[in-house]
Amino acid sequence: MARSSIKKASRLRSAFLSPIGIAAALGLVVLAALTIIAPAVWGSAASTADPYNLSRPPSAQHWLGTDAGGRDIGARTLVATRLSILMALAATAIGVSLGVVVGCLPTVLGRRTGRMVTAAVNLAIAFPGLLLVIMLAVIMGQGLLGAILAIGLAIIPAYGRLTQTLSASVAGRDYIAAARILGISRPRILFRHVLPNVREPLIVNASITAGGALIAFAGLSFLGLGVQPPSYDWGRLLNEGIGRIWVTPGAAVGPAVAVVFAGVTFTLLGETLARGLGIERRVSRLLPPKPARAGGPVQVGSEAAEIVDHEGVAGVSHSPSTSPGPRSVVDSRTGPQPVDGFERVSGIQPVLRVRGLRVDAPTDTGWRRPVRDVGFDIAPGEIVGLVGESGSGKSLTCLSVAGLLEEPLQVTAEEITFDGLDLAPLAGSGGRVGSRRLAAALGTRMALVFQDPMASLNPALRVGPQVAEIGLLHEGLDRQTASERAIDRLDAVRIPDPRRRARQYPHEYSGGMRQRAMLAMGLMGTPSLIIADEPTTALDVTVQQEVLRLLHQVSREAGSAVLFVSHDIAVVTGLCTRVLVMFRGEIVEQIAVDDLVAGRAEHPYTQALLAAVPSMTGDRNRPLATIGDLP
């Protein structure tokens, strides 16, 4: 058994060994036993009328007394367990399964239709639950089937909303963005990436919902809308007993206690499952990342202090002989404008050409533009750094290029050409790649490595199949070949013992290994461009070095261009041959690393960025430079 399953099993065991867990388990055993054996054991006492013992108070023979027909109330209460529990389970099954379907619709149908479904769900939720049940019960007609359908249908809106909320919280994860860029269809994303990650909270809530359904049935039958004589459930018994509560209190108290007992048992079961499955923790981890981290001047932290000096930063050489891209591309003196330079000089088509890229975001007072007229080229095989302070628009730029930004953000571009493909219409489409051909091309030729290594891989799936997916989808490989290639790619990114590791889950990997697995995923195709959005920020310095070295090696061996995003100029100068400097949504300077290191930066912001990097050889007592207010 995998380590994760063993861990989960032991956590569940300890949850069931807690006082709440023991109470839930005992309650369940009692309910299950009564559901199975009560009709056989007490069926005859429950249905045999005794004209000599009508409406008798509790006695040794009839411990809850008898009803108006002389039947034993205790026996009837026990026998009613089967119908009450089975009806609650049936209604819950209907409500939960249809609720999940409804909750998934916005993900499958796309934004516009999805919104209508959401609005309908919200309207239904605004309607008081019990009123909805009664209304539906009247429409469906009195009786057992009508009651099951009424309660089942009434469960749908709440469960749909829950599924929707949980799915939305997963939808912001990097692995969903990665799946989108791989061209995976919405239904497949839903079934493979979203639902497996939300199933546990859904299961827990199903248990609590069953408790609610049970009480709703009791309510319906009590009102005479549910089970009809001669059948009886606890609600029906309550209905019959309430009128005689002063004569034979057991007639009302017995079924009432039974309803409370079953309701509490289901709730405790939900609570125990939630603890055992770690739902609270899991849900908070599923929350989407904040749109932006704190702004302010460039952060030059301890990591940078340890890897400063422009020689061999992070252990990666960038000597001209090993740099893959044409260094002549760069002319720092062209200033902030996009350069057509290398195309003119070398005649080589850039692998990525961006012109006039803008991103607009709504605010309370109107629109703001976090990315303004951004333009740049990346040559085949070139490693380009994109630096800038937090919030300067680096991630938005990358995500727009990959077509991963969604409403309410508005993306427009005069041109985004990637590997001969016109991606401008895709920008801002939220990853809805129109044609299969484009999806396949993007999926195999553009790779993304994200900042948060934990969020980059789907935690519910083993790493091997995730890496193999693109081979299955776009390269037409069969499962065996795709999985062999995935193992080969994991080996290529130096995952030790790749065959065993491919069977593990992401949480069994270290942070650096997860980043490398993301790279392996990108290498299933032959990426012309790897967009690495702060791939090393969350890693410690040694692992950071490994990932940077690997990126460099991959770029050299596969000939892939790299757009390397970082707020750490020291790391960028170690890996890249050219740097795009972003400031307040604009690219204010494009400069060759050699020029940057030699202090030939022209823009004051670039100069300030550089001055803020501490040096190993500098005066330790001198305060670090800060980036002041720039016009």
- Collapsing DSSP to helix, strand or coil, 583 comes out as strand
- Which stretches of 356-462 are DSSP H helices? 394-401, 436-445
Which residues neighbour 438 within 8 Å (Cβ) at sequence distance 6 or greater?
A: 183, 421, 426
We find the least distance from the C-beta atom of residue 259 to ligand ATP, in angstroms, to be 47
We find the least distance from the C-beta atom of residue 358 to ligand ATP, in angstroms, to be 12
Distance CA 151, CA 94 (A): 9
Stretch that binds ligand ATP, among 202-210, 290-298, 474-482, 569-577 (CB under 6 A): 290-298
Q: Are 214 and 84 in contact (CB under 8 A)?
A: yes
Residue with tokens 């909303």: 161
**Would you say 178 or 253 has its CB closer to ligand ATP?**
178
Would you state the structure tokens that stand for residue 338, as one six-digit string?
């996009």
Selected from 393, 443, 535, 614, the binder of ligand ATP by CB under 6 A is 393
**Would you say 221 or 395 has its CB closer to ligand ATP?**
395
Q: Which amino acid is at 205?
A: N
Would you state the structure tokens that stand for residue 100, as one six-digit string?
């999940």
We find the least distance from the C-beta atom of residue 568 to ligand ATP, in angstroms, to be 10
**Would you say 104 or 384 has its CB closer to ligand ATP?**
384
- The count of residues interacting with ligand ATP (CB under 6 A) is 15
Distance CA 420, CA 433 (A): 16
**Would you say 339 or 581 has its CB closer to ligand ATP?**
581
We find the least distance from the C-beta atom of residue 612 to ligand ATP, in angstroms, to be 15
Positions 545 through 574 that interact with ligand ATP (CB under 6 A): 567
Distance CA 423, CA 442 (A): 10
We find the least distance from the C-beta atom of residue 534 to ligand ATP, in angstroms, to be 6
Distance CA 193, CA 393 (A): 28
**Would you say 285 or 372 has its CB closer to ligand ATP?**
372
Stretch that binds ligand ATP, among 28-36, 263-271, 291-299, 514-522 (CB under 6 A): 291-299
We find the least distance from the C-beta atom of residue 103 to ligand ATP, in angstroms, to be 23
Residue with tokens 């939220």: 430
**Would you say 399 or 502 has its CB closer to ligand ATP?**
399
**Would you say 121 or 396 has its CB closer to ligand ATP?**
396
Told to check if 395 binds ligand ATP by CB under 6 A, we report: yes
Positions 349 through 388 that interact with ligand ATP (CB under 6 A): 361, 370, 388
**Would you say 57 or 289 has its CB closer to ligand ATP?**
289
Distance CA 143, CA 252 (A): 21
Positions 511 through 540 that interact with ligand ATP (CB under 6 A): none
Please choose, from the candidates 195, 187, 209, 132, the residue with its C-alpha nearest in 3D space to the C-alpha of residue 163.
Answer: 195
Told to check if 213 binds ligand ATP by CB under 6 A, we report: no
We find the least distance from the C-beta atom of residue 197 to ligand ATP, in angstroms, to be 21
Distance CA 396, CA 286 (A): 21
Site pattern 428..447 for ligand ATP (x: CB under 6 A): --------------------
* Long-range Cβ pairs for the range 2-5 (8 Å, 24+): 2/503, 2/504, 2/505, 2/508, 3/508, 4/505, 4/507, 4/508
**How many whole angstroms from its chain centre is CA 301?**
30
Would you state the structure tokens that stand for residue 510, as one six-digit string?
């270290």
**How many whole angstroms from its chain centre is CA 456?**
10
We find the least distance from the C-beta atom of residue 572 to ligand ATP, in angstroms, to be 12
DSSP for 82-96 reads HHHHHHHHHHHHHHH
Told to check if 391 binds ligand ATP by CB under 6 A, we report: yes
- Sheet containing 383-387: which strands, arranged edge to edge? 446-449, 529-533, 561-566, 383-387, 578-583, 586-592
DSSP label at residue 63:
T
Told to check if 409 binds ligand ATP by CB under 6 A, we report: yes
Selected from 192, 394, 462, 501, the binder of ligand ATP by CB under 6 A is 394
Stretch that binds ligand ATP, among 66-74, 285-293, 551-559, 622-630 (CB under 6 A): 285-293
Told to check if 292 binds ligand ATP by CB under 6 A, we report: yes
Distance CA 24, CA 251 (A): 26
**Would you say 250 or 393 has its CB closer to ligand ATP?**
393
Stretch that binds ligand ATP, among 52-60, 159-167, 287-295, 586-594 (CB under 6 A): 287-295
We find the least distance from the C-beta atom of residue 261 to ligand ATP, in angstroms, to be 48
Bridge-partner residues for 354, per DSSP? Answer: 376, 416
Stretch that binds ligand ATP, among 257-265, 289-297, 505-513, 570-578 (CB under 6 A): 289-297
Told to check if 293 binds ligand ATP by CB under 6 A, we report: yes
The angle at the Cα of 455, spanning 449 to 459, to the nearest 5 degrees, equals 120
**Would you say 83 or 571 has its CB closer to ligand ATP?**
571
Told to check if 168 binds ligand ATP by CB under 6 A, we report: no
Distance CA 470, CA 487 (A): 13
Told to check if 291 binds ligand ATP by CB under 6 A, we report: yes
Stretch that binds ligand ATP, among 84-92, 178-186, 389-397, 412-420 (CB under 6 A): 389-397
We find the least distance from the C-beta atom of residue 535 to ligand ATP, in angstroms, to be 12
Which residues neighbour 282 within 8 Å (Cβ) at sequence distance 6 or greater?
A: 200, 201
**Would you say 330 or 359 has its CB closer to ligand ATP?**
359
- Cα dist from 169 to 274, 288, 448, 542, whole Å: 18, 6, 21, 32
Q: Which amino acid is at 611?
A: A
Distance CA 291, CA 268 (A): 37
Q: Which residue is nearest to ligand ATP (CB)?
A: 292
Bridge-partner residues for 534, per DSSP? Answer: none
Stretch that binds ligand ATP, among 214-222, 258-266, 305-313, 390-398 (CB under 6 A): 390-398
Q: Are 193 and 175 in contact (CB under 8 A)?
A: yes
Stretch that binds ligand ATP, among 259-267, 286-294, 436-444, 543-551 (CB under 6 A): 286-294
Told to check if 111 binds ligand ATP by CB under 6 A, we report: no
Q: Which residues bind ligand ATP (CB under 6 A)?
A: 291-293, 361, 370, 388, 390-396, 409, 567
